[in-house]
A and B are shown apart, each in its own frame.
Chain A
Amino acid sequence: MALLTLSRSSVGLPGRNLLLTLPALLLVVFFFLLPVAILLSRSVTEPTLGLHNYVELLGSPTYLKIFYNTFLVSSLVTIISLLIGFPVAWALAIMPRGLSSVVFAILLLSMWTNLLARTYAWMVLLQRTGVINKTLMGLGIIDQPLQLVNNLVGVTIGMTYIMVPFIVIPLHGVIRKIDPAILQAAALCGASRWQALRMVLIPLARPGIFSGALMVFVMSLGYFVTPALLGGTANMMLAELIAQFVQSLLNWGMGGAAALVLLSVTMALYILQVRLFGAKG
């Protein structure tokens, strides 16, 4: 008994101290849970009770096109970020310590630079008379400037640039823990570089690949600034649609419905990841 009491008082949290966490709990309820609940209720009550907001959202070709744009861009951004981020994460893991901290600093510095500034920079680079078009034309690769902004190409390029660090950081954490001797063993077993990559390195890095990819995909689904600046009005994405419903049309019902569709997709993906890789993944 004495032992039990001791362990309770020293290790366990005595029940009434939970009261101390109340302010934080209230904060979570008022600022996180409640708004979602209100949004949900407005999406099924405005202008009248029922699911008509969802029916309109998922039934209209215009809105479906926006969903399609959103998923297309998010998927492309995720895949391209992975294709760029995986080699970078691998290089970071094997390069000398000094050099890897420099590359890491560059990555972080770009992440810490203001998002608007970086997006406007891409606008300048990608416009008809921008550096990229001028270079390509100067080299004689193209005759006419490419349409790189005000469409989904620009959005994909700008967002990929922003998302790469979000792939590299979790992936680097996983790859760094892989013992290089395991890859030496694979080589001596007769595996070519490609086989070692496909059969050993990628499977071992899979938790990092999935958590990075999920983070980027989810962030991309709800991204606003870059699509708004680099995309065209003809090719809207979901966040822009929500902004338009709420800001311009004051239609909280439709805005809430769109936001909740986005939230359910995100939650479904998160649950899928937990199922596949456990909560830590």
Chain B
Amino acid sequence: MTHPFLEIRGIRKEYAMIPAVRDVSLNIRKGEFMTFLGPSGSGKSTTLFILAGFQDPTAGDILLEGKSLLSTPSQHRNIGMVFQRYTLFPHLTVAENIAFPLKVRRWPKARIEAKVAEMLRLVRLEGFETRKPATMSGGQQQRVALARALAYDPPVLLMDEPLSALDKRLREEIQVEIRRIHQQTGVTILYVTHDQEEALRMSDRIAVFSKGVIDQVGTGEELYANPATRFVAGFIGDSDFIDCELRGAAGGKAKVALKDGLEIGGIPLHGEGKPGARVALMLRPERTRIDPAGASGGAIPAVVTDITFLGSNVHVATETETGAPVSVRLPFGHPSISALARGQKVGLGFDPAEAHVFS
């Protein structure tokens, strides 16, 4: 029987009886870039800290190639980690920082020197050997931290929101670097972030954390096209929710009625629901159509409340007649844009197969 490379099995962690992580199970493949995505307090960092050995779970197990890690203290887990805060040793130079894990492993001097040079090449910081961390930018410090964490060829690299202290441009630059380094080294990465764009940009798969459990695991496309819960739908991509009533469900498809009685069928249903139950209809702004001529033939009647130019696209905010805000995103130059004005009555349409109903 083959084991999953890294298995998180039923992890639970309580602080003073209050669970931070309720029940998290996840299998991670060798070489995978797995992101834990979720808001603060969702348990993603706690799960990472348990993997690092800084905290013990209340229940559950962690297995690396079939062997439990729980009884191994942090310093013997051979796991790499880049932290949210800058954790380079301030009294050591860049080269000494990268050499630190090798020195404590008592590598011979020549081998350490060669490895430090190799790591500096990997993170593209050749020439920075003798610099002290305090004289470097935040982005450079995190790249050194990455080099230090990878120097001893750990099977798993943990990254706890390593870019959250950097500004947007630098963040995107280093995201590309991390992707490159991931491909170059083939190391398995567990990456924690609360930034959905960062998660989508970098990950092979994303585990969406909410209130101490994983709501859904999948590729970015899967999560976007097929969110399992309302939370995932709201967290990955932009979305609007319209309250409505479930009229019927068959074969995973729902038929719903808006407050004004308009019925729409054939929408994928997530979760259980009896006819008459209150449910939420989810629409994606970029998939919602807008008809400047007004509502006709089953379209949802709405009024334009605002139009915002955002560069590559135009954001049209509307409000349905039943009072639900729904936004529509149109690409720049779309013919409808010139025909829209604030206060105008419009019709909103969508493909039922692309929408979702959450109970």
* Chain A residues proximal to chain B, CB less than 8 Å: 179, 181-182, 184-192, 195, 199-200, 203-204, 206
Contact = CB atoms under 8 A, between A and B. Distances in A.
Interface in B129-149: 145, 148-149
A187 B76 CA distance: 8
A204 B78 CA distance: 24
B104 A192 contact: yes
Contacts of A181: 83-85, 87
A188 B74 contact: yes
Nearest 10 pairs of A and B residues by beta carbon: A189-B101, A185-B87, A187-B74, A191-B104, A203-B91, A188-B81, A190-B104, A181-B87, A187-B75, A182-B87
Given A189-B148, A190-B75, 14 more contacts: A179-B87, A182-B90, A184-B52, A185-B148, A186-B89, A186-B100, A188-B52, A189-B149, A190-B76, A192-B104, A195-B104, A203-B89, A204-B91, A206-B91
Contacts of A195: 104
B105 interface: yes
B229 to A, nearest CB: 33
A199 B100 contact: yes
Nearest to B89: A200
B105 A190 contact: yes
B77 interface: yes
Contact of A179 (B52, B54, B85, B100): B85
Interface of B: 52-54, 73-81, 83-85, 87, 89-91, 100-101, 103-105, 145, 148-149, 152
A154 B157 CA distance: 55
Q: For B53, B84, B90, B105, which residue has the most chain A Cβ atoms within 10 angstroms?
A: B90
B104 A188 contact: no
A239 B91 CA distance: 39
Contacts of B76: 190
B343 to A, nearest CB: 53
Contact of A182 (B54, B77, B79, B89): B89
B285 to A, nearest CB: 39
A177 to B, nearest CB: 10
B80 to A, nearest CB: 7
A274 to B, nearest CB: 19
Contacts of B87: 179, 181-182, 184-185
A185 B81 contact: yes
B85 A188 contact: no
B356 to A, nearest CB: 40
Given A195-B104, A200-B89, A190 B83 contact: no
Contacts of B89: 182, 185-186, 200, 203-204
Residue of A184, A188, A191 with highest tally of chain B CB at under 10 A: A188
Contacts of B83: 181, 184-185
Contacts of B84: 181
Contacts of B152: 189-190
Contact of A199 (B74, B81, B104): B104
25 contacts: A179-B85, A179-B87, A181-B87, A184-B52, A184-B74, A184-B87, A185-B81, A185-B87, A185-B89, A187-B53, A187-B74, A188-B53, A188-B79, A188-B80, A189-B75, A189-B104, A189-B149, A189-B152, A190-B76, A191-B75, A191-B100, A191-B101, A195-B104, A199-B103, A203-B89
Contacts of A187: 53-54, 73-75
Contacts of B81: 184-185, 188
A189 B148 CA distance: 8
